[in-house]
Amino acid sequence: MAFLLLARLHVVNEATQFLPLPSAWVSVRDTLLLRNLDSISVERWTELEEEHLHSGHDAMEDEEEEKKAPQVKPLPGDDTLFTNSCHWSTEERLIRLLLRIAFLVSFNERAKLLTRFLLLSQPQRHPGMPKQFVVHRGRTFVDTYERFKHQPDSVEMFSVRFAGANGEYEEGYGQGVYRELLHCIGLEGFTAEHGLFRTTEDGFVYPNPLSFETTGDEEHLGKISFLGFMCGRSLRDGILQDVPFALHFRNALLGRRNTINNLKGFDAQLYRQLVSLVNLTEEELSLMELTFTYVDNSLGVAREYELVRGGAEMKVNTHNRLFYIDLVADYKLNREGAPQTLAFQAGLERIIHRSWLRLFDSIELFKLFGGDNSGSFDVADWKKHTVYKDPEDEHSVPVKLFWEVVESMTAEQQSALLRFATSMRRPPLLGFQFLSPPFMVYLVKNISSQRLPTASTCFSTFKLPPYTDYGTAREKILAAIEEGTTFELT
């Protein structure tokens, strides 16, 4: 069937790109069809998703259904699930398309749909001031987990305060500090030093299969699940985590099974060793004395795992070596870290249903959680969606100088500026129009032009002194953002 073939080709392209332009896959540009994206209900989506699951994910109905509702006799290769498609509403047609071959619709359209679903499923926040919650820098993840492990969606996180090394509270509260909290949780929780996750040679993050052996912590799976929930919460609240998940881990989050094609990017040395077995003679394989086991030497201890029942007694030969290669890849990519991956999924899917995640492929999932990895900022979009304390300030000399400085900055400096004013390192997924509260430039007119800018991250506000020349503006702005590492300067 054509759509199944197309879907499989798309998955292959994620592991080994043969079509470098993502837009080449997009073929649904029907404005009448896409107009229904804004009206798709979560209830209708769930109803059709369950029907899709019962179809076995292969788009084939069972024989009983065919007997109940006999239709026009299908041609060889036809997908019987689409027999009644001529009777579908436009909404149903779009949902079924998104459930099966979502990549035909542009990333931005799908991201907007996910954003709307997350907002609709967000719990109601009760009025009133929640209790203040204090975390210590360097212990953000531990402090937050101990306080909220049983209530990870608590509104108390919005009233977080940071304490420095000396125990004194940093200045700042509200939305900006909350964003900083979620970023720090990810920054600490996903580090290899914490023991719950590992990194590949290329710096990509995946669950540590030996998280208990590494940490000795009985709550290791609970903490991994908590991190999954925090990732979901961050995405729901429009906060991008700067955590590069490994490809095989992203595939697992999408419910996919990894194959030997995915091993190359995870463990290139093991991949080369396995592939080299294909060219060996029977005698050469016999000399290697390989069996259907895998030996892991992590943490200085050799652990042997059977790839199949009785694998220690099964010799690898020219007849079964391809089976052996597939089993080793399956073990490393799917089975070895399964308990940790399932724990993370359990937390994440309390916020984001898996079918919502499946709107995206593994490459897009990277972008969904971490934002655009190109490092570039769309300054025109940033400027377009900036507000001003006084509307007339937009055309003032200091503000014009400010934007000239921003345009001259490197991507790293622009990221530092955004963090200085909002505590976010990257722009919102769909652009600055989704930054809440919106980025504001507050021209402070009654102070010296030799002062450094300040910021109020709670309100995404950059407080700009009345600079009159480009050199001074650039010097002062860069000095401020390079020094402003905590809320004490904001």
Is 458 in the active site? yes
Structure-token match 């984001």, residue found: 352
pLDDT band (50, 70, 90) for residue 250:
very high
Q: How far is 153 from 413, CA to CA, in rounded Å? A: 33
The pLDDT > 70 percentage for the chain reads 85
Q: How far is 330 from 307, CA to CA, in rounded Å? A: 9
pLDDT tens sequence across 220-237: 999 999 999 999 999 998
Alpha helices in 57-174 (DSSP H): 63-68, 90-101, 107-121, 140-148
Decide if 44 contacts 91 (C-beta within 8 A).
yes
As a whole number, mean pLDDT of residues 144-169 equals 88
pLDDT band (50, 70, 90) for residue 437:
confident
**And the tokens for 132?**
């203040």
pLDDT higher at 372 or 64: 372
As a whole number, mean pLDDT of residues 59-75 equals 45
Q: How far is 302 from 284, CA to CA, in rounded Å? A: 25
Residue 395 has pLDDT above 60, yes or no: yes
The pLDDT > 90 percentage for the chain reads 51
As a whole number, mean pLDDT of residues 77-96 equals 68
Amino acid, single-letter form, for residue 472 = T
As a whole number, mean pLDDT of residues 306-314 equals 95
Residue 73 has pLDDT above 70, yes or no: no
pLDDT of residue 32: 57
| Domains 133-250+340-370 and 260-338 in one fold | no
pTM of the model: 0.82
Q: How far is 437 from 363, CA to CA, in rounded Å? A: 29
Residue 347, CA distances (Å) to 284, 343, 401, 417 in order: 47, 7, 46, 32
pLDDT of residue 315: 95
Residue 136, CA distances (Å) to 20, 47, 90, 178, 387 in order: 44, 45, 52, 14, 33
- Long-range own/partner contacts, residues 105-109 (CB < 8 A, 24 or more apart): 105/26, 105/28, 105/34, 106/23, 106/26, 107/22, 107/360, 107/364, 107/367, 108/430, 109/34, 109/37
pLDDT tens sequence across 184-203: 999 999 998 899 999 998 89
Give the domain ranges of the chain.
Answer: 133-250+340-370, 260-338, 379-487
Alpha helices in 267-378 (DSSP H): 268-276, 282-288, 321-330, 338-348, 354-357, 362-370
- Crossing angle for the helix pair 175-189 and 140-148, nearest 10 degrees? 100
Q: What is the CATH number of domain 133-250+340-370?
A: 3.90.1750.10
Evaluate whether the domain defined by 260-338 bears CATH number 3.30.2160.10. yes
Four-way CATH pick for 379-487: 3.40.50.920, 3.30.2410.10, 3.40.605.10, 3.40.50.2000: 3.30.2410.10
pLDDT tens sequence across 415-431: 999 999 988 888 888 88
Give the helix/strand (H/E) hosting 306: strand 303-306
Question: Which of 86, 184, 231, 458 is an active site residue?
Answer: 458
